[in-house]
């Protein structure tokens, strides 16, 4: 059974159809890429999966449960977390504090506990600190644990965002253009980092414009154009798909004349 199944999902804003009758699935442990030209509806798909937008029509099933139109917090608790195209770290906080924030979505203490630093508060914060250290060490971030997030190299900031998403307890990570702004060396390091996440048991969906990353990391690829799914398949199949080439580059004048 698929970990995630999207069935005939559409989203309309007034009279505008942002996505129309989209279908795709993601199996446990896969790395899936969703690609397409600017404005194709990729980020809208992420916003539907994470509860930012309500679905107009269709169904989203995650881990056997329908989650369409659920609140963001509900979906995070269910096991889906995301990163964003623009880095959204707390740059004036330390690396470990950024990761600990990921644990706070499952906070087990109340305002009274945090105000008066009760034993329950101190116990929970100690556990969150230990788990954050464990995550950072497992990702090779040991030397950055007490560094301020804003002082990290750009590529490491991207990875830290993913680490914070991991801290929510996610089974499925949605990565929105994680290679944006990276040079080729940083992109290659990110590619290896994402493969290591897969080895750790995470399932991953990427939105990505860097085709070298997409083609080298994806188990399967889905292609959106004008809000509709126009192709899906293995990387080599997508690379040779004429509809995909036309979506990115447009038809040649000879084809247009036919």
Q: 19-66 pLDDT, tens per residue?
A: 999 999 999 999 999 999 999 999 999 999 999 999 999 999 999 999
Confidence of residue 253 (pLDDT cuts 50, 70, 90): very low
Its CATH class, for the domain covering 4-257, is alpha beta
* Phi, psi (deg, nearest 5) at residue 26: -135, 125
Radius of gyration of the chain (CA): 20
C-alpha closest to that of 9 among 34, 29, 37, 38: 34
Angle (deg, nearest 10), helices 119-138 and 95-103: 120
Better-scored residue on pLDDT, 256 or 49: 49
SS3 81: strand
pLDDT band at 119 (very low <50, low <70, confident <90, very high): confident
Who wins on pLDDT, 117 or 143? 143
What is the C-alpha to C-alpha distance for residues 58 and 207, in angstroms, rounded to an integer?
A: 21
DSSP 143: G
Q: Which residues pair with 233 in a beta bridge?
A: 221
Cα–Cα distance for residue pair 250/35, rounded to 1 Å: 16
Kindly tell me the sign of the dihedral angle through the C-alpha atoms of 190, 43, 169, 92: positive
- 174 falls in which pLDDT band (50, 70, 90)? very high
Beta partners for residue 207, in sequence order: 34, 176
Which residues in 243-254 are b (16+ Cβ under 10 Å) and which e?
ebeebeeeeeee
Question: How far from 123 is each of 108, 131, 145, CA to CA, in Å?
Answer: 10, 12, 20
Q: How far apart are CA 39 and CA 187, in angstroms?
A: 23
Residue 255 pLDDT exceeds 60? no
Out of 43-47, 106-110, 179-183, 241-245, give the one with best mean pLDDT.
Answer: 43-47
Contact 93, 149 (CB under 8 A): yes
pLDDT of residue 251: 59
Q: pLDDT tens, 76-97? A: 999 999 999 888 999 999 999 9
Question: pLDDT (tens digit, 9 = 90+) per residue, 215-251?
Answer: 999 999 999 999 999 999 999 999 999 999 888 867 5
Dist CA 134 CA 126 (whole Å) = 12
With 0.75 as the threshold, say if the pTM is over it. yes
């Amino acid at each position: 059974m698929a970990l995630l199944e999207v069935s005939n999902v559409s989203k309309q804003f007034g009279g505008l159809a942002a996505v129309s009758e989209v279908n795709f699935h993601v199996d446990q442990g896969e790395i899936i890429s969703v690609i397409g030209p600017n404005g194709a509806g990729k980020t809208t798909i992420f916003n539907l999966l994470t509860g930012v937008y309500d679905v107009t029509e269709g169904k989203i099933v995650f881990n056997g449960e329908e989650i369409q139109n659920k609140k963001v917090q509900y979906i995070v608790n269910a096991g889906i977390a995301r990163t964003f195209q623009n880095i959204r770290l707390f740059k004036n906080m330390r690396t470990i504090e950024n990761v600990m924030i990921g644990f706070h979505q499952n906070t087990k203490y109340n305002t009274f506990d945090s105000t008066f630093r009760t034993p329950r508060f101190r116990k929970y914060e100690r556990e969150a600190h230990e788990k954050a250290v464990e995550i950072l060490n497992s990702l090779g971030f040991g030397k950055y644990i007490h560094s301020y997030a804003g002082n990290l190299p750009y590529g490491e900031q991207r990875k830290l965002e993913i680490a914070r998403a991991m801290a929510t307890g996610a089974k499925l990570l949605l990565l929105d253009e994680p290679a944006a702004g990276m040079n080729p060396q940083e992109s290659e390091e990110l590619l290896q980092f994402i493969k290591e996440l897969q080895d750790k048991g995470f399932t991953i969906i990427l939105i990505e414009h860097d085709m070298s990353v997409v083609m080298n990391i994806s188990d399967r690829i889905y292609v959106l154009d004008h809000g509709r799914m126009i192709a899906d398949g293995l990387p080599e199949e997508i690379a040779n798909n004429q509809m995909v080439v036309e979506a990115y580059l447009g038809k040649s004048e000879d084809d247009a004349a036919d």
